[in-house]
Amino acid sequence: MHQWMRKSGTIVNHFKSLLLVTNNLSSWRSYSFVKRCQFAASFAHNLPVADGDFINSSTHFCSRRFESVKAEKMANNVDDNQALKLPEGKVKFTPKLRFISETADERECCYRVLDENGNQISSSNYVEVSKEVAIKMYTDMVTLQTMDTIFYEAQRQGRISFYLTAVGEEAINIASAAALTIDDVVFPQYREAGVLLWRGFTIQEFANQCFSNKADYGKGRQMPIHYGSNKHNYVTVASTVATQLPQAVGAAYSLKMEKQDACAIAYVGDGGTSEGDFHAALNFAAVTEAPVIFFCRNNGWAISTPTSDQFRSDGVVVKGRAYGVRSIRVDGNDALAVYSAVHAARDMAIREQRPILIEALTYRVGHHSTSDDSTKYRPVEEIEWWKMERDPVTRFRKWMENNSWWSDKAELEARNSARKQILHAIQEAEKVDKPPLADIFTDVYDSPPSHLCEQEKLLREAIKRHPQDYPSDVPL
């Protein structure tokens, strides 16, 4: 993150140096529209970036915006009198009054490698996975599944305040993470703990965050499951839906400017695609040709809202074309399909400098969170069918067994080991002190402003007057 902030600072300082009114920004407001445009062109012309060919003139800067659309190929051989010439290319005229259909004749297909029994589908093409990687993928899925079960129970016991599981979506978490590198920057939504697990975040670190103790990197300021780690290039989870998407594009654009062999990936649920940030991010990424992967977990439900009430389009995958973004639909319960799709998407994003949209079809087997009872809005039989018949962990295990890479003995050892580690981590997390009260007011300003000092004073006075209303384990 600090690298992106430095890059932003460079741009801002360059902006100021050109404007020459650093201490009098009102002068900018007095400029005429034409003069502002002239300044913008000058700014684009002189912007210091790593890739010298990316911006070398205001004219080049403008024309590049439309290059990813490639619309000019459609009508370049058409006479000028038969087409409308626009900056992005020619548009052919037609005498027919014809509207573009709201739907295609057929739905977009879903890429799949393994059938329900873990057998490889004949003629399927996928990225090979080594035995070592496959075993780590499976054991991490088992660990994630076990962690979700135990932490969910801990919340029900009143030991933590909130929790949210990834039940039914383990393959999406682990397989997508396995196809990335540690240099790729992850912008999660909130159901991607498995991505962080794959990258080396320990069970103890998960427990510290959920129990909001002194060892929590967020100092207890966030809700449980709002993980984040600078070390693992995993941007902290935000409760606000879809705000991570345009942020990921900005990060990807920074990686592009610095010619890094890396991309950004942003996860979002089907409900997040109804937010304006989703559409702004796709357009932003397409125009800047940023190396970013948008990974949509279409699990059927945005809390209690079904996808039928979210959109009338053929899911999410078709939305990419409207913005000039290459897209694919994949079976989210097929670990090999997810791995292959993300692996290929990463290669295209970096090598071709373009955004990619992946829609993973899956099902949210668990409740939305511990604050939700999904049996109030969907049948229990439906949940049980997906849990028993479409479980991604079981499917991947069958494939492993077919390759003689896994056994009942290994299964028992993996599940027992995961359970012991998680229970021990919880016990240790509960022993650690809570962060001090003063930490609520730190880490935003270099020197706390007067209004924050006043708020801290009032809070301490309120605790003294009503100690019974505040937790006794928070150091004052």
At position 113, the amino acid (one-letter code) is: V
Kindly state the tokens that stand for 128.
Answer: 């090979």
Query: Distance between CA 196 and CA 250 in Å, rounded?
Result: 21
Residue with tokens 């990619």: 356
Place of tokens 């990258």: 199
Tokens of 88: 């992005």
Q: Which helix (H) or strand (E) holds 244?
A: helix 244-257
Q: Is 369 assigned a catalytic role? A: yes
Per the CB < 8 A criterion, the answer to whether 53 and 275 are in contact is no
User: With b meaning 16 or more CB within 10 Å and e meaning fewer, what string describes 259-284?
Assistant: ebebbbbbbbbbbbbbbebbbebbbb
189 three-state secondary structure: coil
Q: For residues 392 and 335, give the distance between their C-alpha atoms in angstroms, rounded to a whole number.
A: 7
Residue 268 three-state SS: strand
Rounded to a whole number, what is the distance in angstroms from the first to the last CA of the chain?
31
Of 138, 110, 113, 117, nearest to 125 (Cα)?
113
List residues bridging with 335 in a β-sheet. Answer: none
360 to 280, 315, 342, 356, 466: CA distances (angstroms): 21, 10, 11, 13, 50
Q: Which of 269, 265, 260 is nearest to 187 (CA)?
A: 265
Please tell me what DSSP assigns to residue 271. Answer: G
68, 212, 369, 374: which one is catalytic?
369
**Phi, psi values for residue 182, rounded to 5°:** -65, -20
153: annotated active-site residue: yes
From 239, 304, 371, 407, the catalytic residue:
239
Choose, from 68, 212, 368, 374, the residue flagged as catalytic.
368
Catalytic residue among 153, 384, 389, 454: 153
Q: Which residues are catalytic?
A: 153, 239, 368-369
